[in-house]
Amino acid sequence: MIKSFIKCINTIFCVNPILNRGLYSRCNIGSRYITTSNIDNDNSKITSSLDNDNSIDKKERVQKYLARCGVASRRLSEEMIKSGRVTINDKVAKIGESFLIGAGDIVKVDNKIIRPSIPKLWIHHKPRNTLVSTKDSFGRDCLVEILQKVMNKPHIIPVGRLDYYSEGLILLTNDGELSRYLEHPKTEVTRIYKVRIFGQLTERMKLLLEKGIVIDDVQYKPIKAEIESETESNSWIILTLTEGKNREIRKILEYFNIKVLRLVRVKYGPYLLPSTLKPGEVIEAKLTGDLQKFVKKWSKDLRATEKLIKDKDFSLNQNKILNK
């Protein structure tokens, strides 16, 4: 089953970073084009949150830097540091506050200079019956593992999660800090879901959701609930959240004895799920608004590193000349 899924995505996967027009890169998939028709510029919450957070310019731990550069996960990066494979400015790195990475520091793994990749973001239409994970002990299809192979990118981070039976928009990135900002509770990035339920949502339920609710000692933030359509047996509702707790929608609706028949995420922050993007397809998205800070930081760090390397090479050459 996993082989057929990979073959399907290989057929439809297309990213063209050269054609950046509007929010989405234009992408030719057969005779279809994914264009900028589904743009939503409502990124005010992200912008205000980032404006009040200067951590983007602070130094970071070695393992965090290595993960951001796509070398390995933070846990595996820690193992690499402990084994003495990582150096900072030619000094063997160790775990601790005295070994923090800043602009211009030269980090090497196995004597190879590590440079961060330019931050990128992709939109993926997750199909049902796939895990947003790299591996599964039960042998189920794992989205991250499949896309890493198809996109030929070993370091892909999903922004938030969707459970095995849910579907819709998943953001992917190669930058750990970008992922953190988009999914961190304090940024209050909106997530919008279309949910088909068995039964109906009452006005009392809507009021309880909008006030915020506590279930099994877990506090859930206010949820905006709207009824899109309903029949005697089932309804389509629209839920707007500002956090992403584990299986939040399913647990809350179960609390009201409401069965979820289908759950589709249609929006995450300023990014909408394009109506032309079929399940299994992925497309590159442009970093909008204040999220462009991540690209600016990457550019700043890269220039500082390159200058330090150039100055060091010049110094070594001068020493060779003087020693002759």
Q: C-alpha dihedral over 51, 57, 60, 62, to 10 degrees?
A: 130
163 a catalytic residue: yes
47-51, 215-219, 231-235, 249-253: which range is least confident on average?
47-51
Q: Report the C-alpha gap between 188 and 42 in whole angstroms.
A: 13
Model-level pTM? 0.70
Question: Of residues 199 and 155, which shows the higher confidence score?
Answer: 199
Q: Which of 72, 245, 224 is nearest to 162 (CA)?
A: 245
Q: Report the C-alpha gap between 168 and 311 in whole angstroms.
A: 49
Per-residue pLDDT tens digits for 172-203: 998 877 888 888 888 889 999 999 999 899 99
Which one of the listed residues 40, 53, 105, 163 is annotated catalytic? 163
Mean pLDDT taken over the chain: 77
Angle between helices 2-12 and 143-151 (to 10 degrees): 50
Collapsing DSSP states into helix, strand and coil, what is residue 27? strand
Per-residue pLDDT tens digits for 253-308: 999 999 999 999 999 999 999 999 999 999 999 888 778 777 777 667 666 666 66
Task: Say whether pLDDT at 25 is over 60.
Answer: no
pLDDT band at 32 (very low <50, low <70, confident <90, very high): very low
Task: Say whether pLDDT at 38 is over 80.
Answer: no
Q: Report the C-alpha gap between 190 and 43 in whole angstroms.
A: 9
- The domains of the chain, with CATH numbers, are 2-46+58-181+274-300 (3.30.70.580), 193-268 (3.30.70.1560)
Q: Which of 76, 154, 152 is nearest to 109 (CA)?
A: 76
